[in-house]
Amino acid sequence: MSAKIIIGVMGPGENASPEDNEMAFELGRAIAKEGWAVLTGGRSFGVMDAAMKGARDVNGLTIGVLPDAHDKNASENAQIKIVTGMGSGRNMINVLSSNIIVVLGMAAGTASEVALAIKSNKKVILLHQDEITIRFFKNIGTYRVLIAKDVDETITQIKDYLAVHQLR
Amino acid sequence: MSAKIIIGVMGPGENASPEDNEMAFELGRAIAKEGWAVLTGGRSFGVMDAAMKGARDVNGLTIGVLPDAHDKNASENAQIKIVTGMGSGRNMINVLSSNIIVVLGMAAGTASEVALAIKSNKKVILLHQDEITIRFFKNIGTYRVLIAKDVDETITQIKDYLAVHQLR
Amino acid sequence: MSAKIIIGVMGPGENASPEDNEMAFELGRAIAKEGWAVLTGGRSFGVMDAAMKGARDVNGLTIGVLPDAHDKNASENAQIKIVTGMGSGRNMINVLSSNIIVVLGMAAGTASEVALAIKSNKKVILLHQDEITIRFFKNIGTYRVLIAKDVDETITQIKDYLAVHQLR
Amino acid sequence: MSAKIIIGVMGPGENASPEDNEMAFELGRAIAKEGWAVLTGGRSFGVMDAAMKGARDVNGLTIGVLPDAHDKNASENAQIKIVTGMGSGRNMINVLSSNIIVVLGMAAGTASEVALAIKSNKKVILLHQDEITIRFFKNIGTYRVLIAKDVDETITQIKDYLAVHQLR
């Protein structure tokens, strides 16, 4: 069995805060150190770019699932570029291709990924989110929604999830 | 110009409350009376089914955008069945094909449609929603998110929107 | 049962020959006269546009499944505009949403629709096609591929198909 | 620049001939030896499976873009599993994500990939194909369609293509 464990990291692009981006970089690094691949929406901005940059910093594998029908706007930190030509329709593929999803920062595209993940019976870790966001997604996702306050807690939750599902 | 005005009606399937379904029926009826088409996720349950049933009750046009690769699970109230084979990936098409979207009841698939609508710069009317839902989507969608408490208010808001955009 | 019978008409856009367009207009007219809806790729060129124009000429229902994420390039003869934002990825939806498919003229996008139709177990009528095209698709599609030389023969084959499948 | 060169290998699944599968294995091996990734439709049959098996045999990177909404039917030779839930709609993603496409064996799904590749302005190498297939795709694809009779010729054509486009 040579299949890679894939951790989805979802979050805002252009509108990510500096704090989101810093945490995304640390998260990408921490995921890659565990030997897992980082999958994002693949663009050269925000949480997507920072998480893949973090993973590449420690020589991790990065996958970018792109909205455009070409790779001109891809992050240079995306090693495997999946070109969908589906716009935000590709968010469904981000979700389905990830073993588990971590969400950092919030915006409309990100919210659609959390909702599609819940709909698809995927576990989602809400990292460093505000009270309204947590309550909204807990209301619609119950046990599929996990809460983490920092990167360490996130990695622990991913490990627990993978252990229970005998992945790795 | 023969193009139909299309109003998207989004809401839970199996888990819709009786109250959601009743309001969806009235909404579908009211939309059809204006001469607009009703577009839904096309399945034979909940808000989707009820809204199309209401539209058909006054001889309105109904469009169901189906998740499966066949039409076996389609609502019998869907006149035009668009078969996507994309599962919840079809939610993006629901959103893009609607001139404006009304959301009634809440579940994971529905939440993804609100988020994708905001992301795609569509106006969304949150009909009869709770405080947490309204605050969450106002946070990420600002002026794209409208609030209505009943069917009449919804129809008025749709008319205002169509007038401003010179549709019809 | 209020569901519409949908006949897909596929063919080249900008590169359609005048002869293709004339025949597409006649085909669209003939389909609409039977009370069936015409579904095409929805753009304002070639076989798509001509077939919908023919259907509208006799007050038929037309559905355009658009490649863009907006409807700015839609044919004005498309009454129901399904907006996919998937580029040629929408060809799969064209095929799945049609009860049966008629192909007129040939180009790369059209060929993908014939192939996807065969793959999806749909019947395809090759109308007025050359020997190489017929032989190629017969090789991969066997009994799913029907041959017609004119519009009358096409309508007869559609009627036979619908009768066998008890549609209408 | 850390992006991987991705070579799409397309061909029949269950209906691949033993000869197709042997050649696909050799092709996958030869692609991986050049340091390129092999992308396929990801299923555990035919040309897809054999090409990824060949690549893994020399420790190459393999990407499977799956039709299902889960990975239960994936080839065990797919390292990166992209889960689309789009059925044959995922063929468009196979094509767009590949720098260049090699086609070995022929079936309906494969034909749709050749056609979508031509439509998307991608180069396609028809490997070991019959006369009808070559003539059909040359008619619709002209200079985008290359012909190769064996694996060596295919690798040479890929190298030429990558050199002209200054990839790697």
Angle, alpha carbons C97-C100-C105 (nearest 5°): 100
Residue C5 clears pLDDT 60, i.e. is over it:
yes
For the stretch D95-108, pLDDT in tens is 999 999 999 999 99
- Name the region of A27 (left: φ>0; alpha: ψ -120 to 50; beta: rest): alpha
- For residue C148, the SS3 value is strand
Inter-chain CB proximity C139 and D88 less than 8 Å: no
pLDDT for the residue numbered D167: 83
For the stretch A50-86, pLDDT in tens is 999 999 999 999 999 999 999 999 999 999 999 999 9
pLDDT for the residue numbered B167: 84
CATH of domain A6-162: 3.40.50.450
Average pLDDT across chain A, whole number: 97
For the stretch B84-124, pLDDT in tens is 999 999 999 999 999 999 999 999 999 999 999 999 999 99
Interface of B with A (CB under 8 A): 86-89, 91-93, 106-112, 114-116, 118-120, 132-133, 135-136, 139-141
**Cα nearest neighbour of B87 on chain D:** D85
C61/chain A closest Cα distance in angstroms? 27
Distance separating alpha carbons of residues B163 and C102, to the nearest angstrom:
39
Distance separating alpha carbons of residues A136 and C143, to the nearest angstrom:
52
Inter-chain CB proximity A118 and B132 less than 8 Å: no
Helix D131-141 × helix C108-119 angle, to 10°: 130
Sequence spans of domains, chain D: 6-162
Chain C positions in Cβ-Cβ contact with residue A89 (cut-off 8 Å): 84-86
Chain D positions in Cβ-Cβ contact with residue B69 (cut-off 8 Å): 87
Specify the pTM: 0.97
**Cα nearest neighbour of C93 on chain D:** D89
Residue A2 clears pLDDT 80, i.e. is over it:
no
pLDDT for the residue numbered C113: 98
Residue B1 clears pLDDT 60, i.e. is over it:
no
Inter-chain CB proximity D96 and A84 less than 8 Å: yes
Residue B161 clears pLDDT 90, i.e. is over it:
yes
Chain A positions in Cβ-Cβ contact with residue D83 (cut-off 8 Å): 93, 96-97
**Mutating which of B68, B70, B73, B80 best tests the C interface, going by the most C Cβ atoms within 10 A?**
B80
Chain A positions in Cβ-Cβ contact with residue C85 (cut-off 8 Å): 86-89
C166/chain B closest Cα distance in angstroms? 15
Average pLDDT across chain C, whole number: 97
pLDDT for the residue numbered D2: 77
pLDDT for the residue numbered D10: 98
pLDDT for the residue numbered C167: 84
> Which subunits have 3 or more CB–CB pairs within 8 Å of chain C?
A, B, D
| Nearest CB to D136; choose among C93, C107, C133 | C133
pLDDT for the residue numbered C168: 66
For the stretch B40-60, pLDDT in tens is 999 999 999 999 999 999 999
**Mutating which of D73, D97, D168 best tests the A interface, going by the most A Cβ atoms within 10 A?**
D97
**Cα nearest neighbour of D66 on chain A:** A97
Let me know: does C125 contact C152? Beta carbons within 8 Å: no
Quick one: what percent of chain B has pLDDT higher than 70? 99
**pLDDT (mean) for C96-110:** 98
Confidence of residue A132 (pLDDT cuts 50, 70, 90): very high
Amino acid at C59: N
Let me know: does B99 contact B167? Beta carbons within 8 Å: yes
pLDDT for the residue numbered A92: 98
Count of pairs with CB atoms under 8 A, one residue in A, one in B: 81
pLDDT for the residue numbered B168: 65
Distance separating alpha carbons of residues A22 and A109, to the nearest angstrom:
20
pLDDT for the residue numbered B8: 98
Taking the CA atoms of C103, C106, C111 and C113 in sequence, report the sign of the dihedral they define: negative
A132/chain D closest Cα distance in angstroms? 30
pLDDT for the residue numbered B72: 96
Cα-only R_g, chain C: 14
Average pLDDT across chain B, whole number: 97
**Mutating which of D86, D91, D92, D112 best tests the B interface, going by the most B Cβ atoms within 10 A?**
D86
A145/chain C closest Cα distance in angstroms? 30
| Nearest CB to A132; choose among B93, B136, B141 | B136
Structure token digits, residue D51: 């090409």
Q: What is the secondary structure of C9-57 as a DSSP string?
A: EE--STT--HHHHHHHHHHHHHHHHTTPEEEE--BSSHHHHHHHHHHHH
For the stretch D107-147, pLDDT in tens is 999 999 999 999 999 999 999 999 999 999 999 999 999 99
Query: From the centroid of its chain, how far is CA B113?
Result: 9
Interface of C with B (CB under 8 A): 1-4, 6, 37, 56, 61-63, 65, 69-71, 74, 76-85, 92-93, 96-97, 120
Count of pairs with CB atoms under 8 A, one residue in C, one in D: 83
Chain D positions in Cβ-Cβ contact with residue A78 (cut-off 8 Å): 3
